[in-house]
Amino acid sequence: MSLFARRIRGFRLVDLLSLVVLVSLILGVYLAKTIAGRERAEIATAEKQIDTEKARIRTLDAEVAHLEQPARIEHLSETYLGMQPVPIKREAEPDALAEIALHPAPLPKPAATAQP
C-alpha cells in the first residue's frame, strides 16, 4: 500500500495530515492577528504620549520666550538687584579688555533693598 492510500479509521493519512496543517495555520494566523492588534494598541498609546509631550514642549517654549523678554529681565534686575545700564564712560573697546583684566576697577556697591 502506498503512503497516500493508507487509511486510518476510514480517513486517508494525507487527509489527516492536511487537516493538522490547516488547523496549525489557522491557529498561527489567529495568534499573529492577536499579537498585531496588541502592538497596534501599544503604538497608538505611544503616539498619544508623543503628541502630549510635543504639546508640553510647545508650552514650555512659550514660557521660556516669555521669561527671556529683555524688558522683563531689565525690570527685574533694576527692581531686585539694583542694577542699572552701564554708563558710556564705563564701556570698553575689545582691544582694552586685556588691560582691564590686569587692573580691574573696584565694583560699585549694589543698592540696598528694603528687607521686610
Distance of CA 27 to the CA centre of its chain: 39
For residue 12, give the DSSP letter.
Answer: E
Count Cβ atoms within 10 A of the Cβ of residue 62 and give its class: 0-12 exposed, 13-18 middle, 19 or more buried: exposed
Quick check: 5 and 12 in contact, CB under 8 A?
Answer: yes
**Cα R_g (the chain), whole angstroms:** 40
Specify which residues 8 forms β-bridges with.
11
Dig out the grid coordinates for 59 from the structure.
508650552
Q: Could you give the CA distance from residue 16 to residue 45 in angstroms, rounded to a whole number?
A: 44
pTM: 0.49
Over residues 54-98, the pLDDT tens digits come to 999 999 999 999 999 999 999 999 999 888 887 787 778 888 888
Q: State which H helix or E strand residue 57 sits in.
A: helix 13-67
Over residues 23-62, the pLDDT tens digits come to 999 999 999 999 999 999 999 999 999 999 999 999 999 9
